[in-house]
A = this chain, B = another copy of it.
Amino acid sequence: LSTIALLTDFGLQDPFVGVMKGVIAGLAPQADVIDLCHGVPPQDVRAGALYLRASTAYFPDNALFVGVVDPGVGSARRILFARTKRHWFLAPDNGLLSWLTEPVVEWRVVENAKLFLPKVSSTFHGRDIFAPVAARLAAGLDPHDLGPQLEQPAVALPWPKDEILAIDRFGNAITSIDRPVKTVRYKGKTIAVKRTYADAAEGETLAVYGSYGLLELSVRNGDFAARCAASRGEIIDAGK
């Protein structure tokens, strides 16, 4: 276990992510820490789940994913350890691990406080719990020591029906549609599905199965979300 991939909604304007890496460097100096993404919109558990769904398959075997999108920090919500055939995960029990592309073969509750920092705050478990536990796993800790096994998590998010799940940096609207469709309707307009951006004219609106493996609404070399005032949660009409 040498790769730790971090996914948070902390952004990079504050030292939150840097401090997590400081904790990891102290406990597992040999670990290779990769920033999967810190741009999950604040408290948007569904976006975090989407980013994990789109990403884990591309990481090496035995990578440990640490997901901290955690609006319930400081409450009684549990912290989970999960294991699939290829990967390991730490995340709050709030649905963040709902959409993994491989089945979870082992769930545990992370509750062994000896593995945490000596003083655990009520606001920053990324630093006080997730980082030290991740580092100890990377350094060889047996998952048995984390806490008892669990049948299943308390929260499991259903996959949403035909809506916008996220807006990316280019203004593409990532939908939940992964079945093959030919056109979609959105805000009164019909948008044709193309094979790639380059099949549309400059400035044309199109839909394309994009980087997430999902249908995205785009403008060729433009910003769909800005042009159409698109936002997360909006319903798309994609037929049956």
Kindly list chain B residues whose C-beta atoms are within 8 Å of the C-beta of A29.
2-3, 32, 60
A198 contacts the other chain (Cβ, under 8 Å)? yes
Cα A5 to Cα B19 in complex, Å, equals 10
Decide: B51 and A14 in contact? CB cutoff 8 A.
yes
Cα A21 to Cα B4 in complex, Å, equals 12
A168 contacts the other chain (Cβ, under 8 Å)? yes
Contacts A196-B73, A196-B123, A211-B123; is A37 near B18 (CB within 8 Å)?
yes
Decide: A211 and B16 in contact? CB cutoff 8 A.
yes
Residues of chain A in range 1-38 having any CB-CB distance to chain B below 8 Å: 2-3, 5, 7, 10-19, 21-23, 25-26, 29, 32, 34-38
Shortest distance between the CB of A171 and any CB in chain B (Å): 8
Decide: B51 and A198 in contact? CB cutoff 8 A.
no
Cα A46 to Cα B51 in complex, Å, equals 30
Kindly list chain B residues whose C-beta atoms are within 8 Å of the C-beta of A198.
72-75
Cα A40 to Cα B186 in complex, Å, equals 30
A147 contacts the other chain (Cβ, under 8 Å)? no
Decide: B34 and A18 in contact? CB cutoff 8 A.
yes
Kindly list chain B residues whose C-beta atoms are within 8 Å of the C-beta of A95.
none
Decide: A18 and B42 in contact? CB cutoff 8 A.
no
Cα A210 to Cα B14 in complex, Å, equals 13
Where the two chains meet, the residues of A that have a C-beta atom closer than 8 Å to any C-beta of B are: 2-3, 5, 7, 10-19, 21-23, 25-26, 29, 32, 34-39, 42-43, 51, 54-55, 58-61, 63, 71-75, 121-124, 127, 166, 168-170, 195-199, 208-211, 216, 221, 223
Q: A22-B60, A74-B198, A121-B211 are in contact. List 7 more A-B contacts (CB 8 A).
A: A12-B35, A14-B168, A15-B54, A17-B35, A18-B34, A18-B55, A29-B32
